[in-house]
């Protein structure tokens, strides 16, 4: 029988102390929404029915109508409690008040929008955001606290008279069929994002406070500046420029803009003590429009302090899927990657080799292993692939070749190092890693999956 203690996670949903309602459950629910409103008029010989429904034609974009503001997670075993974590989530922001204008039916006079139905917009994206997380040890001592601040920007409300879910005609008893019923849905656009994160670490009677602030520019959800300030006023700032921020974008950068891709072009990290600059580092990515209209890095340059940018990584060749085929560090040897399994996985890494001046036999061996990987469907075909990879190693005799085989969508099944030694990975029927063996068949590691009881 195992002597290891069983560990459990317990969850409690009452308000945390101190709180005036600490004896109550922190669960809250929305007022059930009224989502469908119809209106009309009654005249001689006409009968009209209006319908109100709590079933929405639209779905929530975050969570449900029920949530908990306070949650306590406790890690316990049979004999003791190993501390706890207390979570506080954002309050339920029930509604965005929106003034609907009057409704006009059949060209008649205005019908005021019902006052009780004016607050129909549910900003569910504001709910369930983590506000604070506090860690306690087994002796109830506070050891760490994380505080998160979010903000909402670019809020825009629209009335749904041109955004009706359904419009239909309702014939009256005389059969004239002139009444038009429209169901109104208000809608809102808004960006809700993280503004700051503060971490407080407690040591005896002291505490260390670190605050991270996020600043946004062209992309309202992608931070362009991240500043980390510690208790000694040491500041670590990271500025990121995207193609959209470049005053004179290159052709490749303009392609990124046209594709609406926000990828870092230049990143500058600065360390300051107050206003005094201590050090800085810059990384710039030079993008290139490769074959098949793929825009990906060509060079990665770096510099320190006031020095000029220098090449660090160079991409010499990519395939039509965007996979790197030949890469090198500045002044270093070139590395070839062979992609197999229909160009989804790297099956060989060839160090000290280049496509420039490559012989026909080398090119043919690469094609052979790619085709063998595409046909790898069982143990027999996988062994064939390993044999082809061994031939590849022999042909590239002046290079260091590392080879890989896979079970697609499961994981790597073998890795063969440049000395020809293979490590094997075996999975169970649930596609979980079961054991790892070396080239002599010795088990290096083994995983056993057991359910409780």
Chain mean pLDDT for the chain: 82
- pLDDT at residue number 280: 96
Q: Domain limits of the chain?
A: 1-216, 239-323, 333-453
**Worst-scoring range by mean pLDDT, 135-139, 285-289, 375-379?**
135-139
- pLDDT at residue number 277: 94
Distance of CA 313 to the CA centre of its chain: 26
Percent of the chain residues topping a pLDDT of 90 = 57
Handedness of CA 384, 390, 391, 393 (dihedral sign): positive
User: CB–CB of 84/72 below 8 Å?
Assistant: yes
Give the tens place of pLDDT for each residue, 169-204: 444 444 444 444 444 555 677 888 999 999 999 988
Partnered with residue 117 across adjacent β-strands are: none
User: How much is the average pLDDT of 430-435?
Assistant: 95
- pLDDT at residue number 176: 46
- pLDDT at residue number 21: 64
Whether the predicted pLDDT of 247 surpasses 90: yes
Which residue, among 262, 279, 190, 270, has the nearest Cα to 224 in the 3D structure?
Answer: 262
Bond from prior residue into 203 cis (ω within 30 degrees of 0): no
User: CB–CB of 324/335 below 8 Å?
Assistant: no
Overall size of the chain counted in residues: 453
User: How much is the average pLDDT of 12-39?
Assistant: 63
Percent of the chain residues topping a pLDDT of 70 = 72
- pLDDT at residue number 103: 46
- pLDDT at residue number 174: 47
Q: Which residue has the higher pLDDT, 350 or 21?
A: 350
User: How much is the average pLDDT of 378-384?
Assistant: 96
- pLDDT at residue number 94: 52
Which residue, among 158, 143, 184, 178, has the nearest Cα to 98 in the 3D structure?
Answer: 158
User: CB–CB of 136/83 below 8 Å?
Assistant: yes
Q: Helix, strand or coil for residue 389?
A: helix
Question: CA-CA distance, 426 to 433, in Å (whole number)?
Answer: 6
- pLDDT at residue number 19: 67
Q: Which residue has the higher pLDDT, 231 or 19?
A: 231
Give the tens place of pLDDT for each residue, 131-145: 999 999 988 899 999
Q: Are strands 66-68 and 52-53 parallel, antiparallel or unpaired?
A: unpaired
User: CB–CB of 47/173 below 8 Å?
Assistant: yes
Q: Helix, strand or coil for residue 222?
A: coil
Confidence of residue 40 (pLDDT cuts 50, 70, 90): very low
User: How much is the average pLDDT of 340-352?
Assistant: 98
The vertex-261 CA angle with 302 and 243, nearest 5°, equals 45
User: CB–CB of 157/186 below 8 Å?
Assistant: yes
- pLDDT at residue number 14: 79
User: How much is the average pLDDT of 284-306?
Assistant: 94
In eight-state DSSP terms, residue 31 is P
Partnered with residue 400 across adjacent β-strands are: 351
- pLDDT at residue number 60: 61
- pLDDT at residue number 55: 55
User: DSSP of 146-195, one letter per residue?
Assistant: EEEEEEEEEEEEE-GGGS-S-EEEE--TTS---EEEE----EEEEEEEEE
User: How much is the average pLDDT of 431-440?
Assistant: 95
Whether the predicted pLDDT of 376 surpasses 50: yes
String of b and e for 114-152 (b: at least 16 CB within 10 Å)?
A: eeeeebbbbbbbbbebbebbbbbeeeeeeebbbbbeeee
**Worst-scoring range by mean pLDDT, 54-58, 107-111, 243-247?**
107-111
């Amino acid at each position: 029988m195992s002597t290891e203690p069983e560990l459990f996670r317990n969850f409690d949903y009452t308000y945390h102390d101190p709180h005036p309602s600490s004896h109550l459950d922190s669960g809250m629910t929305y007022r059930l929404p009224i989502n469908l409103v119809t209106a009309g008029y009654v005249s001689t010989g006409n009968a009209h029915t209006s319908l109100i429904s709590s079933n929405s034609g639209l779905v929530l974009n975050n969570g449900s109508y029920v949530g908990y503001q306070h949650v306590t997670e406790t890690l316990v075993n049979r004999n003791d409690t190993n501390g706890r974590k207390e979570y506080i989530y954002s309050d339920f922001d029930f509604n965005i008040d929106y003034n609907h204008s009057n409704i006009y039916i059949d060209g008649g006079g205005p019908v005021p929008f019902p006052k009780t139905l004016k607050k129909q917009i549910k900003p569910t994206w504001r709910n369930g955001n983590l506000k604070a997380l506090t860690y306690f040890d087994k002796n109830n001592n506070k050891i760490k606290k994380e505080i998160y601040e979010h903000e909402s920007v670019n809020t825009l409300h629209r009335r749904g008279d041109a955004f009706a879910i359904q419009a239909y005609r309702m014939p009256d008893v005389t059969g004239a069929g002139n009444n038009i019923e429209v169901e109104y849905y208000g809608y809102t656009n808004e960006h809700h994002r993280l503004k700051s994160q503060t971490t407080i670490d407690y040591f005896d009677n002291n505490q260390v406070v670190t605050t991270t602030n996020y600043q946004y520019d062209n992309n309202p959800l992608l931070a362009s500046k991240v500043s980390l300030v510690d208790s000694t006023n040491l500041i670590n700032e990271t500025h990121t420029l995207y193609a959209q921020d470049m005053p004179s974008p290159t052709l490749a950068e303009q392609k990124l803009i046209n594709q609406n891709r926000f990828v870092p072009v230049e990143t500058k990290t600065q360390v300051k003590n107050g206003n005094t600059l201590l050090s800085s580092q810059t990384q710039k990515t030079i993008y290139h429009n490769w074959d098949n209209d793929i825009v990906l890095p060509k060079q990665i340059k770096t510099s320190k302090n006031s020095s000029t940018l220098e090449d660090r990584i160079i991409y010499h060749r990519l395939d039509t899927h965007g996979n790197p085929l030949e890469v090198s560090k500045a002044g270093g040897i070139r590395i070839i990657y062979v992609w197999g399994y229909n160009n989804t996985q790297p099956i060989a890494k060839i160090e000290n080799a280049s496509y420039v001046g490559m012989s026909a036999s080398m090119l043919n061996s690469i094609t052979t292993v790619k085709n063998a990987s595409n046909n790898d469907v069982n143990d027999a075909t996988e062994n064939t692939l390993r044999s082809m990879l061994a031939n590849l190693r022999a042909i590239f005799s002046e290079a260091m070749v590392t080879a890989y085989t896979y079970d697609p969508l499961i994981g790597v099944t073998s890795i063969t190092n440049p000395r020809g030694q293979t490590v094997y990975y075996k999975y169970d029927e649930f596609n979980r890693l079961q054991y790892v063996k070396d080239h002599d068949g010795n088990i290096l590691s083994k995983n056993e999956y057991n359910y409780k009881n």
